[in-house]
Amino acid sequence: MNDNWLNESDTPHEECGIIGVFAPNEDVARMAFFGLYTLQHRGQEAAGIAVADGQVMSMHKDTGLVAQIFRPNTLDNLKGHYAIGHTRYSTTGSSLARNAQPFMIETMHGPLALAHNGNLVNSAELRQKLLEEGVGLSSSSDTEVMTMMLARAKGKTWNERIKSCMQEWRGAYSLVILTRDCVYAARDAWGFRPLSIGLLPHGGFAAASENGALRTLGCEAIREVKPGEIVTLSENALVVNQAVKPVNPSARCVFEFVYFARPDHVWDGQSVHHVRQRLGEELARETRVEADVVIPVPDSAIPAAIGFSRATSIPFNDGFIKNRYIGRTFIEPTDSLRKQGVALKFNVINENVLNKRVIMIDDSIVRGNTMGPMIKLLRTAGAREVHVAITCPPISHPCFMGVDMGNYDDLIAHHRSLDEIRIHIQADSLTYLSLDGMMRAVGRKDGYCQACFTGIYPIDVDVISAKTGFEKNTK
């Protein structure tokens, strides 16, 4: 998007999606393309694919959606047996073309490309160290910092060099790394971001942020890359190396369940769809509201609304129809259409809410700037009452591990009480799921990062650091 009127929402923005493929005698560029297509929900700002054939590496990347960037002739020029790909939403570094991934460079050990999902909390420190050593940097992305560190790392093999760098990287990272004759997949010691691997049906292996992408490629025997692991995908079969000791307990992002992941993803051995239904069931136990109909905000809240309805016996129905393409247009709206705001993204089925007490289920409220207009849409359509129920606790702290939730000033729950938020969005009632209720739905007491709710971060972070903290040095 070249404007923010549609991108601003009451939900956290997606992270990034990564794919890695080793498939001899296959069109790996097209395989990476379809993998990224499956992961498009994780980032819509930019995408790229890098391919190697054992000798030469080539790459294509640009800003925009996967289908806009890659055409048949583009993919025809990407030949090889090894590929990595990335679809991006900016976390560290703004949405500039120079920050599109993968990053590819020539090194003394041969070509190298890297794609990253996550955020290093010590990236500014590492970047300054590289600059002091005379390394030229062209972007504001911590991914470039990781790539340049790998290029300079000590070790006889790439596996050793990756392991060496993992000792210095602090924060969230799931990586796919491409050399001329290998793909590596690596995950941080806390396990913040998802990464899975699978066996391709005709030989070879693939790694991806979500196992739905792996199933799209026909993968079998899918398992997660464990925290601190490096997995090598090459002709020498799958090789697993525990590079750094995993942190216990882990710190998986609980928002994969709440919002980010596709419902067909399995995260920490659990179906995302089923956990979302349980979030709705737990929310129903904590909500004391009489109503006539339960409606979800599409799409991530649909399973939760089903669970809520099942637990309360309040009928479930569709209230909103979402225009899934309006947020992906590059065409500027007219001034009069811009004033329509959220009405361009959602239409209400009037008959389903007319003269009814509505419970509207959503996954989260971040800035609080679209919930009010959505409630207004329901009231205009004839809803008698509008009650809002949210499937997670109030988000009152920013994320430093790869999710864009803004800073403290952006978060409505950081500077407003529950009733102040209710008044601001003009709801008849507002219920957030408790932290205990959320974790009961997840089925785990620990092992998950809850920092955006509690302010207790698994890693010490500099809360003054901004998302575009490198920009002043790279513009």
Residue 254 one-letter amino acid? V
DSSP state of 44: -
**The two structure tokens encoding residue 27:** 């069109």
Clarify whether 392 is annotated catalytic: no
Name, in order, each residue with C-beta under 8 angstroms of 348's C-beta and a sequence gap of 6 or more: 319, 320, 321, 377, 378, 380, 381
How far apart, in Å, are the Cα atoms of 104 and each of 33, 59, 71, 147? Answer: 18, 8, 21, 8
**Strand locations in 188-251, DSSP E?**
196-199, 205-208, 220-224, 229-233, 239-242
DSSP for 310-347 reads HHH-PPB---EEE-TTGGG--SPPPHHHHTTGGGGTEE
Helix residue spans in 367-444 (DSSP H): 371-380, 412-415, 418-425, 435-442
CA–CA separation, 171 and 401 (whole Å): 6
Name, in order, each residue with C-beta under 8 angstroms of 257's C-beta and a sequence gap of 6 or more: 267, 270, 272, 275, 276, 279, 441, 442
Which residue, 150, 11, 171, is CA-closest to 89?
Answer: 11
Name, in order, each residue with C-beta under 8 angstroms of 78's C-beta and a sequence gap of 6 or more: 28, 29, 49, 51, 58, 59, 60
In this structure, are strands 385-390 and 429-432 parallel, antiparallel, or unpaired? parallel
Judge contact between 95 and 25, C-beta under 8 A.
no
DSSP state of 404: B
Phi, psi dihedral angles at 304 (to 5 degrees): -65, -40
Catalytic annotation, pick one of 16, 182, 219, 399: 16
Give the residue numbers marked as catalytic.
16
